Amino acid sequence: MSALAAKNQQKSVRDLTQGPPMRLLLGFCLPLLFGNLFQQFYTLMDTMIVGRFLGKIALAGVGCTGSINFLIIGFCMGVCGGFAIPVAQRFGAADASGVRRFFFHALVLSGILSAVVTLIVTLSCRRILTLMNTPADVLDYAHSYLMIIFLGIPVTILYNLLASVIRALGDSRHPVMFLVVASFVNIGLDLLFILVFHMGVVGAALATILSQGFSGVCCLVFILKRMEILHIRAAERRLEGRYIHTLLSMGLPMGLQYSITAIGSVVLQTAVNGLGANAVAAVTAGGRVSMFFCSPFDVMGQAMSTWGGQHVGAKKLGRIREGLIDCIKLGAGYAIVAFLILWFFGRNLASLFLDAGEAAVLDQARLFLIINSAFYFPLALVNIIRFLIQGIGFPTFAILAGVCEMFARVAVAAVLVPLFGFTGACFANPCAWVAADLFLIPAYRYEMGKLKRQLGIE
């Protein structure tokens, strides 16, 4: 038995290329789902505490940062996820040294990325918010919140890189455990900073960054103590161009995919800002609830990225399709359940973030939730197919899918919002998801054919 095969018997790694796909995907997804729900839970708690104790204007201030936050933080998260793909591929190919070399190069590149991005965005934060037509009464709240989030980019990258690498080796359980603990830390710090120290939205942002830093340190300690396959040897600590090229060719397209998608969200948010604080608050409350319900789709995407990476490394392309079909079944079933819940209870869930007297805002938030959840199955396909394409090694197509989403959101902001106001804005996400699917489905078929030819597989 090879050294890597021996390590594979440990609980800290998992080979997804052996066994029934549905069982393996469920085993991989469930811990991730639990962790993502907790992550969304403490995001919801942030919003709930801000909305309940600091008021509608503060809530709108935090909410209107969502698109620009996604533009920057999403880029960082996408790059980290892309850096983990070669690790998964080398693991599937039973190349332990290759796993460690890619991990070392990913650490170095991530350190450079965190320094450069943090410097650029903190210097341009207020300017960006002004260009986005942020309402004057919420601008200071938005700037204070966003500056803290951006200063915490290094710890955000730390957690996302290490968690992505651990998942690439088949372990979706331990990053979740650390995230669960961090969620309670976040809630506790929220209450302390806002209710006791009266730090306002700065306290909410600081609580988020400190808790994420805690989960990142937990991942690092776990790797040092339990994942020997990632313990880099002296001979492997040498920068080589081919590893840098491979990582950048995977990471940058995934990061740009998030950012390009987010550009459309920024344009849309600018249009929503023009509708006033009530519309911004409604989108914020509805968006937070929707993010919670969309967590399973994010998990399915993460699972398919690792699934694709390991199976390409093992040259088992037939199982890639089996996993895709099973994951789509999971996505369809959940999409129906989520729509029914939000149809009947969407207004009640939105009321967690707003005072009961804000009837008009709550009605708008419910409308947002109903329209978005009616298109959750197209969203499931976006995540499942896009991340699978990335995992098998063709991230450029993910960028093009992001371009489709961007143009769809820009079109909604330019046409539907001026014509139909808030109702038009509610159709931005559904239009983006459908546009991406129209590109991704044929792209997947094309890339699988290309991959078979490259590997000489009929």
The answer to whether the CB of 230 falls within 8 A of the CB of 91 is: no
Q: What is the pLDDT of residue 230?
A: 95
What's the burial of 12, exposed, middle or buried (CB within 10 Å: 0-12/13-18/19+)?
buried
* Rounded CA separation 152/407 (Å): 30
Please state, for a pLDDT cut of 70, what percent of the chain lies above it. 92
* Rounded CA separation 411/424 (Å): 11
For residue 360, count other CB atoms closer than 10 A to its CB.
10
* Confidence tier at 12 by pLDDT (50, 70, 90): low
Residue 70 clears pLDDT 90, i.e. is over it: no
The answer to whether the CB of 250 falls within 8 A of the CB of 393 is: yes
- Beta-carbon contacts of 129 under 8 Å, excluding residues fewer than 6 positions away, are 64, 65, 68, 139, 142, 143, 146
Q: Sign of the CA dihedral 216, 221, 224, 229?
A: negative
Q: What is the pLDDT of residue 414?
A: 87
Identify which has the larger pLDDT, 235 or 71: 235
Three-state secondary structure of the chain: CCHHHHHHCCCCCCCCCCCCHHHHHHHHHHHHHHHHHHHHHHHHHHHHHHHHHHCHHHHHHHHCCHHHHHHHHHHHHHHHHHHHHHHHHHHHCCCHHHHHHHHHHHHHHHHHHHHHHHHHHHHHHHHHHHHCCCCCCCHHHHHHHHHHHHHCHHHHHHHHHHHHHHHHCCCCHHHHHHHHHHHHHHHHHHHHHHHHCCCHHHHHHHHHHHHHHHHHHHHHHHHHHHCHHHCCCHHHCCCCHHHHHHHHHHHHHHHHHHHHHHHHHHHHHHHHHCCCHHHHHHHHHHHHHHHHHHHHHHHHHHHHHHHHHHHHHHCCHHHHHHHHHHHHHHHHHHHHHHHHHHHHHHHHHHCCCCCCCCHHHHHHHHHHHHHHHCCHHHHHHHHHHHHHHHHCCCCHHHHHHHHHHHHHHHHHHHHHHHHHCHHHHHCHHHHHHHHHHHHHHHHHHHHHHHHHHHHCCC
Closest to 386 in 3D by CA, of 444, 311, 457, 445: 444
Q: What angle do CA 165, 168, 173 make, to 5 degrees?
A: 85
The answer to whether the CB of 434 falls within 8 A of the CB of 405 is: no
pLDDT tens digits for 105-161? 999 999 999 999 999 999 998 898 888 778 788 888 889 999 999 999 999 999 999
Residue with tokens 């980019």: 153
* Confidence tier at 355 by pLDDT (50, 70, 90): low
For residue 370, count other CB atoms closer than 10 A to its CB.
16
Q: What is the pLDDT of residue 357?
A: 65
Domain ranges of the chain: 19-455
Lowest mean pLDDT: which of 26-40, 159-173, 314-328? 26-40
Q: What is the pLDDT of residue 83?
A: 95
Closest to 63 in 3D by CA, of 268, 308, 297: 268
Residue 5 clears pLDDT 50, i.e. is over it: no
Burial annotation 227-265 (CB, 10 A radius, 16+ → b, else e): bebbeeeeebeeeeeebeebbbebbbbbbbbbbbbbbbb
pTM of the model: 0.74
Closest to 58 in 3D by CA, of 204, 208, 201: 201
Residue 11 clears pLDDT 60, i.e. is over it: no
Lowest mean pLDDT: which of 57-66, 93-102, 170-179? 57-66
Lowest mean pLDDT: which of 40-54, 152-166, 218-232, 243-257? 40-54
For residue 410, count other CB atoms closer than 10 A to its CB.
19
Look at phi and psi of residue 238 and say left if phi exceeds 0, alpha if psi is from -120 to 50, else beta.
beta
For residue 73, count other CB atoms closer than 10 A to its CB.
22
